Chain A
Amino acid sequence: MKYMLLVYYSEKEMSDSERDRCYVDSARLSCDLAAEGKFVDASPLQLVDTATSVRVRNGKTLVTDGPFAETHEQLGGYYLIDANDLDEAIGIATRIPVATLGTIEIRPVLEIPGLPGEKRQ
């Protein structure tokens, strides 16, 4: 089954060079996971300064600067993986470089058949 691994960490506590290093290590992990047949998709996100939040209320669109919630740690990237069970997903989460600094939230993907984008299968 598919799992979304959401990577949270405190952006402020990482220097630019550390972040670059982290991207390289994460890209390597993506390649390893692809070789193991567990990889679906992954990407780092631009820093939270670039976030925009949108809400539609009573037909009106509200656009605000900033993320969904202001917290100490921010969503910094994601992996979409194909794992046999939660234990395997936990094992993969421990291999994500940021796991030693921040938190990886594992969310099973609710798969709805018949949606476009079957290439993910």
Chain B
Amino acid sequence: MNEASNINVRGTIDELYRTESRRILSTLIRLLGDFDLAEEAMHDAFAAAMEKWAEEGIPANPRAWLVSAGRFKGIDVMRRRSRIDESGAEIIEHLEADNGDPAEFADRAVKDDELRLIFTCCHPALAPDARIALTLREVCGLTTEEIARAFLTTPSTLAQRIVRAKAKIRDAGIPYKIPSHDDLPGRLEAVLHVIYLVFNEGYSASSGDSLTRADLSGEAIRLGRLLLELLPANPQAAPFEPEVRGLVALMLLQESRRAARSSAEGDLVLLEDQDRSLWNQEMIREGTQLVRRALASQSFGAYTVQAAIAAVHAEAPAAAATDWAQIVALYDVLLQVAPSPVVELNRAVAVALSDSAEAGLQLIDGILARGELSDYHLAHSARADLCRRMGRFAEARESYERALALTKLEPERRFLERRLHDLA
């Protein structure tokens, strides 16, 4: 074998690792029934490929070759362990009897394995932060160090969290399967929630390495797209597709504004002050299309409605041209689908802009009087802003100060201080 084809084999394997390793891992987890063993077996299989393919050439179906090699490697490891532990013998017998049905490697089976992996990593019996860590590690293939950096924790804390989660999956019998039809809505909700949390960590947080944060948003969008690609192949899950579409739309529409959201100095730029020429039109186009299809399905949820609101903003060529009446109407729908005081607050701001500042202020004061949002800085800064517009400067100052006392984010602090300064 000459050097050139060696390099060619290495290039192919590197490319396969990038594009197929998560799929191969998810199938090996199903075949071997163990996360760690599957990971070890997969790496062994890639190492074996490097050797064999250099001698024998690249096989016709490299993924099937790698899964099959990984399965044998896994059985080998189990056999070595079972010399120490008798209980493994039965599992090995079972594994060997099942002689690698080629259907295991068909696209459909592999897609279901990916879906199984997502549902297992986002199982509600795992702690929410463990779900995020496990999903990023196992489904997205991020390293423990990368995840730790993004979530501002140490790699050892994060590694522990992942080890504990894997132990619980094994010991508590968390199944590696797509949930039954009855369980699916709740489970899918947990999956979408994890994806949205990952996205928001990349989008909203203002501390840490900004590059890594943007990567997280990108990863969340990729996961959402993956679900969109996988779900329709699964008849059980198909009815829940619109809300997945809605979530992907929401993430794309928010992400489209990334470049316009902060100034060169790292200060916050409000939606109304953003340079709309910086918005990513391609993401807006795709997000708007997705949200239209989700809305047309008539069986959408909160993510879709929020995406629709983001789409109305995206369609306005200038802040002043925003269709606020439509936004208020969408908030009315959102309040029915997912009622919360924060949604009420956002609706109040939309009412202030579509109707009058007085009407909006009245609604905000009503919410604050109930005491539910009295510690939420955005409620006070929204109130302050309306008072300022109405010329009630003393009240505005008081509310800005209250917001300033409650916020923990540095760019927000600077923004509020600037507003207070302008009032003086």
A pairs with B: yes
Instruction: Give chain A's interface residues, CB within 8 Å of chain B.
Output: 1, 3, 83-87, 89-91, 106, 108, 110
* A108 partner, pick from B123, B172, B180, B183, beta carbons under 8 A: B172
CB pair B125–A84 under 8 Å, yes or no, is no
How many whole Å from B168's CB to the nearest CB in chain A? Answer: 9
User: Chain B residues near A87 (CB, 8 Å)?
Assistant: 174-175, 177, 179-180, 183
Q: Cβ of B171 < 8 Å from any Cβ of A?
A: yes
CB pair A84–B175 under 8 Å, yes or no, is yes
Would you list 6 pairs from A and B whose C-beta atoms are within 8 A, ordered by A residue?
A1-B173, A3-B173, A85-B175, A86-B125, A87-B174, A110-B171
Residues facing A in B7-35 (CB within 8 A) are none
CB pair B125–A90 under 8 Å, yes or no, is yes
Total contacts A-B at CB 8 Å: 29
Nearest 9 CB-CB pairings of A with B: A85-B175, A85-B173, A86-B173, A86-B174, A108-B172, A86-B172, A1-B173, A87-B175, A108-B171
- Other than A85-B173, A85-B177, give 17 A-B pairs with Cβ distance below 8 A: A83-B173, A84-B175, A85-B174, A85-B175, A86-B172, A86-B173, A86-B174, A86-B175, A87-B174, A87-B175, A87-B177, A87-B179, A87-B183, A89-B173, A90-B125, A106-B172, A108-B172
If over half of B's interface residues share one DSSP class (helix, strand or loop), that class is named, otherwise mixed; here it is loop
If over half of A's interface residues share one DSSP class (helix, strand or loop), that class is named, otherwise mixed; here it is mixed
How many whole Å from A114's CB to the nearest CB in chain B? Answer: 12
> B141-171, CB under 8 A of A: which get 1 and which 0?
0000000000000000000000000000001
User: Chain B residues near A106 (CB, 8 Å)?
Assistant: 172
User: Chain A residues near B173 (CB, 8 Å)?
Assistant: 1, 3, 83-86, 89, 108
User: Chain B residues near A89 (CB, 8 Å)?
Assistant: 173
Measured in the bound complex, the distance between the Cα atoms of B200 and A106 in whole Å is 32
Measured in the bound complex, the distance between the Cα atoms of B123 and A84 in whole Å is 16
How many whole Å from A121's CB to the nearest CB in chain B? Answer: 15
Tell me the nearest residue of chain A to B179, going by C-beta. Answer: A87
Measured in the bound complex, the distance between the Cα atoms of B190 and A90 in whole Å is 16
